[in-house]
Structure 1
Amino acid sequence: MSFDPIDHDFERGLQNRRNVLGDAWVDRSLDKATGFNADFQNLITRFAWNEIWGRPGLDHKTRRAIVLSITIALGRWEEFELHVRAALLGEPDSRLTPDEIKEVLMQSAIYAGVPAANTAFTHTLAILREVGEQIGYVLEPAAPAAASHSGIGREGRTVSSPVLHYSVREPRSGKAPRHTVVLSHALGCDLTMWDALANTLAQDCRVIAYDHRGHGSSDAPDALYSMAELADDAARLLRELDTGPVVWVGLSMGGMVGQELALRHPALVRALVLANTTSGYPEAAQAVWEQRIATVREQGIEAIADAVMGRYFHDGFRAQKPGTVARYRRRVVSTDPVGYVGCCNAVGKVDTTPRLGSITVPTLVIAGELDQGTPVAMAQALADGIPEARLVVLQEASHLSAAEQPQAFEEAVVGFVTSI
């Protein structure tokens, strides 16, 4: 029997240790080994760096974040600093950005305590001042009172009336935005319906979401609104925020507003995503909208809520995701009835079909295979009427396709935005 003199557990662990901490640090540790601590160096190399870091179940970025969290919780600051430096300066495929480290520290404040996170921020800031130039990161002054939740954005209200509530997410990349994207919600919803998509797009885009008049935290004038008024609302918002031309992503009512905006204020629109929407309803459907207005006026929104959920979500989704359906139902029934009725009037009377040929920007039309409110035929009419439009049909999706098939919806939108 031959004897292999190589300790493979040690060699594998040593390679992982070098990959994570860098050659210079590992060489210093090995060179400082003595008869007193050589056994310990051997132990941690075989067990920590081979048995744990050598497991493929988690990538090294995730393991870095775990180590940072645990060293914060235990107050092991020498080890914490070692791994912060390694995370910032390590192999590119396992490196953590300063913003990613910040998120680890923020979460540690909740699970390990604010004092521990406070100390972690102090240590990390010192390291960033030391290596910032090396990694291209500049520590700039910032006012805590102006800080906003990165998953929600900076919230505001328009100066002009009717007042519109909005949120703005700046690009997390720290670079100039690829585009400014505006997300426009469906009837009976609000800007929160876009949270997941907004946070994905905000990686390299400036993302604006807002509540239509009569919805969420926006004003609800006592009147029957027109689609032209809703489009003018959007134009006011964009001009106040000085956006320049935007990529407009609208679902249902939001898609109708996008069409009208592109026709009335073409200089404000760079491209359109029109999801689960239409350019006009036949007379029979218009009568249904008039009946909905009458019902809400007489009995309140609760009287129509279940029927709305039946149109928004297909049977299978309602059975599998009752919590999501319940959330949207709560939003619908809590919408100001005056605002809801006002927008129902605008939606029921939408009429852009004869003017679609005047929309000259790149357009993506998204339809839901199971959508009964704005069926695929309506989406096809949009795609046929707009010169630079193409149609995508999402399988197993009804009217709120962005909620029912979020991944497929996101892939379609992100792919389109990236192509512009």
Structure 2
Amino acid sequence: MSRLTHVVNGPYAPPVAARELTAVSADGARLHVEVHGPDGAPAVVLSHGWSCSTAFWAAQIRDLAADHRVIAYDQRGHGRSPANPVCSADALADDLEAVLAATLAPGEKAVLAGHPMGGMTLMAAAGRDRFREHAGAVLLCSTGSSRLVAESLVVPMRAGRSRIWLTRKVLGSRAPLGPVTPVARRILKYATMGPGSAPGMVEACARIVHACPRKVRYAWSHVLDTLDLDHRVRELGVPAAVVVGTADRMTPVVHARALVAALPHCVGSTELPGLGHMTPVEAPALVITRIRELVSTYVRIQQKEGA
């Protein structure tokens, strides 16, 4: 059971996994993996974002596990996956490959969903053989492929060098986040969620983010600062849907629109008015619906044709 079960309560508490396992990445990094739902059901793989964990997907896991095999894993250094000194986009792709190899049968297709750094993980792995073997379709939630600091709206200043410099300092801060206080909740809500987010949603996200080790948060901030996966997006040839909140300050809607324009096989784009960066928590039913649609359209058909 995730240690966050005792931190995040109520409807946002992460469900208990049917099975837990450890996937070992190419460089030896060990990744905590959870499998929910019935064996033999269509597979969904969930990849969370920077400073989060499998607990972030609680709503999606709870719903989808009724009739899907839901695989969620902690990115290296996050949640219950031990820290590793190697932090790079290629390491994220290696880790995803290890999870796919540990949980899916040869040739088995799945819908892969990623939220910011999780979406970048899917982009980084796009040209790899194992990704192509297992990816039936992808859902990219609130993510981008490059210029993450330059386009960020977290710092309320006019665009320019000063805003980029200050954004880099804020997102790459070494300071510990400390306990979840009223001030901390207000800051997190401003930076990552829409103005109408319910207090319970804000509390859940704050506790997940504050549980991320400071050194891990700092190390990965530098990877995101210099990230450039534009060329990998063009290799993402499987059906891909995009979801973004129009009030997203971390990865503003400009990123989603760039992805839609660059993806070889975009099958849908959804812009959610007034929602922020945490779309799977802010709009759980919409994200669940998009995943179910992708499974129904691309994974079930492929399984039937391959039978």
TM-score after normalising by structure 1: 0.57
Give 1:280-291 correspondences, 5 Å limit: 280-281=146-147, 284-285=150-151, 287=165, 290-291=168-169
Matched-pair contact (CA < 8 Å) for 1:278–1:374: yes
Q: Note the alpha carbon deviations across 1:119-161, whole angstroms, 9 max, x for none.
A: xxxxxxxxxxxxxxxxxxxxxxxxxxxxxx9853312222453
Q: Answer yes or no: is 1:313 the counterpart of 2:193.
A: yes
Alpha-carbon offset, residue 416 of structure 1:
2.4
Matched-pair contact (CA < 8 Å) for 1:256–1:347: no
Q: Answer yes or no: is 1:295 the counterpart of 2:173.
A: yes
Cα distance, 1:371–1:185 mapped onto 2, change above 3 Å: same
The residue that corresponds to 1:204 in the other structure is 67
In structure 2, give the amino acid aligned to 1:393: E
Alpha-carbon offset, residue 195 of structure 1:
2.0
Q: Distance in 2 between matches of 1:227 and 1:204?
A: 32
Match of 2:145 among 276, 279, 293: 279
In structure 2, give the amino acid aligned to 1:253: M
Q: Note the alpha carbon deviations across 1:297-317, whole angstroms, 9 max, x for none.
A: xx2234995544322212221
Secondary structure at the counterpart of residue 364 of structure 1: strand
In structure 1, give the amino acid aligned to 2:111: V
Q: Answer yes or no: is 1:387 the counterpart of 2:271.
A: no
Alpha-carbon offset, residue 396 of structure 1:
3.2
The residue that corresponds to 1:234 in the other structure is 96
Give 1:37-52 correspondences, 5 Å limit: none
Aligned residues: 262
Give 1:3-82 correspondences, 5 Å limit: none
Give 1:69-148 correspondences, 5 Å limit: none
Alpha-carbon offset, residue 200 of structure 1:
2.2
Q: Note the alpha carbon deviations across 1:54-88, whole angstroms, 9 max, x for none.
A: xxxxxxxxxxxxxxxxxxxxxxxxxxxxxxxxxxx
Larger Rg: 1
Unaligned runs of 5+ in 2: 1-13, 152-163, 299-307
Cα distance, 1:201–1:357 mapped onto 2, change above 3 Å: same
Matched-pair contact (CA < 8 Å) for 2:247–2:275: yes
The residue that corresponds to 1:162 in the other structure is 29
Cα distance, 1:150–1:218 mapped onto 2, change above 3 Å: closer
Matched-pair contact (CA < 8 Å) for 1:367–1:376: yes
Alpha-carbon offset, residue 382 of structure 1:
0.4
Cα distance, 1:394–1:283 mapped onto 2, change above 3 Å: closer
Alpha-carbon offset, residue 356 of structure 1:
2.1
Cα distance, 1:197–1:392 mapped onto 2, change above 3 Å: same
Match of 1:327 among 204, 227, 237: 204
Q: Distance in 1 between matches of 2:195 and 2:103?
A: 41
Matched-pair contact (CA < 8 Å) for 1:289–1:344: no
Cα distance, 1:162–1:237 mapped onto 2, change above 3 Å: same
Structure ranking higher in helix proportion: 1
In structure 1, give the amino acid aligned to 2:139: V
Q: Distance in 1 between matches of 2:188 and 2:237?
A: 33
Q: Answer yes or no: is 1:365 the counterpart of 2:246.
A: no
Matched-pair contact (CA < 8 Å) for 2:248–2:277: yes
Alpha-carbon offset, residue 289 of structure 1:
6.0
Q: Distance in 1 between matches of 2:29 and 2:202?
A: 30
Structure ranking higher in strand proportion: 2
Q: Distance in 2 between matches of 1:396 and 1:360?
A: 30
The residue that corresponds to 2:120 in the other structure is 256
In structure 2, give the amino acid aligned to 1:228: D
In structure 2, give the amino acid aligned to 1:247: V
Q: Note the alpha carbon deviations across 1:245-293, whole angstroms, 9 max, x for none.
A: 4311011111111111223343332211001000111663575564246
TM-score after normalising by structure 2: 0.77
In structure 1, give the amino acid aligned to 2:114: G
How much identity, in percent, do the aligned residues show?
29
Matched-pair contact (CA < 8 Å) for 2:111–2:138: yes
Cα distance, 1:294–1:278 mapped onto 2, change above 3 Å: closer
Q: Quote the RMSD (CA, aligned, Å).
A: 2.5
Q: Distance in 1 between matches of 2:80 and 2:47?
A: 14
In structure 1, give the amino acid aligned to 2:119: G
Larger RCO (alpha carbons 8 Å, 6+ apart): 2
The residue that corresponds to 2:154 in the other structure is none
In structure 1, give the amino acid aligned to 2:281: A
Matched-pair contact (CA < 8 Å) for 1:396–1:405: no
The residue that corresponds to 1:217 in the other structure is 80
Cα distance, 1:230–1:287 mapped onto 2, change above 3 Å: farther
Matched-pair contact (CA < 8 Å) for 1:370–1:399: yes
Q: Distance in 1 between matches of 2:166 and 2:269?
A: 27
